[in-house]
Amino acid sequence: MARMSSSDSGDRPEGSVVRPGSRMRIRGSGGVEEEIVLVGSDDEMGMDRLSTRTRLGRTLLGHHAGDQVEVRTEAGSVTFTIVSVES
């Protein structure tokens, strides 16, 4: 299950939405940031690439820079902040 919150629900640029092919910077609850590319299939997986078939990948879809998403795993919930998105 995922939860989202946003600091601004107003109009956002169309290119700022997370979709397959987006390059984004996300920050975990520990403060560590990483840059990833969201890919549409497991065949495209590689270093710094995240599939839309993963729990985190599915959760990020449709969100924007500034949004926080929560991913529930077997080990507990993890919150990520989407720092930036480039489509």
Per-residue pLDDT reduced to its tens digit, 13-59: 556 899 999 999 999 989 999 999 999 876 666 778 999 999 999 99
What is the C-alpha separation between 87 and 78, in angstroms, rounded?
25
The pLDDT score that the predictor gives to residue 63 is 97
Whether 87 and 17 have beta carbons less than 8 Å apart is answered as yes
* Residues counted in the chain: 87
Question: Can you give the residue range of the structural domain that contains 21?
Answer: 2-6+16-86
23 part of a folded domain: yes
Between 43 and 66, the higher pLDDT residue: 66
* pTM listed for this prediction: 0.79
pLDDT category at 9 given cuts 50, 70, 90 is very low
69 part of a folded domain: yes
The domain total for the chain is 1
pLDDT category at 10 given cuts 50, 70, 90 is low
| Count of CB atoms situated within 10 Å of the CB of 1 | 8
CATH, residue 63: 3.10.50.30
